[in-house]
Amino acid sequence: MFILSPGISCKEVAPEKNEQYSLENSTVTLSYRYSQQTTAGDEFYWYQQYPGKQPQFIISHLGTGRLLSDPVSGLSVTVREDEIHLDLQISSAALTDSAVYYCALSCDTTLQK
């Protein structure tokens, strides 16, 4: 009997703050820290979740900051120069932007030898 266990090499991305507050019509920056420097092949996916609802995809980008998805009005993403900090900016924040935000990334699921 042979058991093959795929080695999954995932890096971590975590929010810098668990909660953030702002005034309406201001710009809100949600910052996340990546466990290592980003690479061009890293893919980041951002989601927004309202209470009692499923998370909804909002935007995605590469580790270079280049968008993978269509631009979304009022949203922008930045990979900072140190390449371990990612920012999602919400311009002209409104009460309807009050939600939980998630940043996820694709994992390298190739077999490890």
Where along the chain do its domains lie? Answer: 24-105
Whole-number pLDDT of residue 10:
62
Closest CA to 13 of 100, 77, 105, 89: 105
Does pLDDT of 97 surpass 90? yes
Q: What sections of 4-112 are H helices per DSSP?
A: none
Mean pLDDT, all residues of the chain: 84
Per-residue pLDDT of 99-113, as tens digits, reads: 999 998 885 544 333
Whole-number pLDDT of residue 35:
87
pLDDT band of residue 7 (cuts 50, 70, 90) is: very low
Amino acid letter, 108: D
* DSSP letter assigned to residue 91: T
Q: Which fold has domain 24-105?
A: Immunoglobulin-like (2.60.40)
Return d(Cα 15, Cα 20) in angstroms, integer: 11
Task: Return the number of other C-beta atoms located less than 10 Å from residue 41's C-beta.
Answer: 10
In angstroms, the Cα distances linking 51 to 3, 7, 79 are: 41, 35, 28
pLDDT band of residue 75 (cuts 50, 70, 90) is: very high
In angstroms, the Cα distances linking 8 to 11, 45, 106 are: 10, 18, 11
Whole-number pLDDT of residue 107:
59
Q: What sections of 1-113 are H helices per DSSP?
A: none
Rounded average pLDDT over 7-36: 84
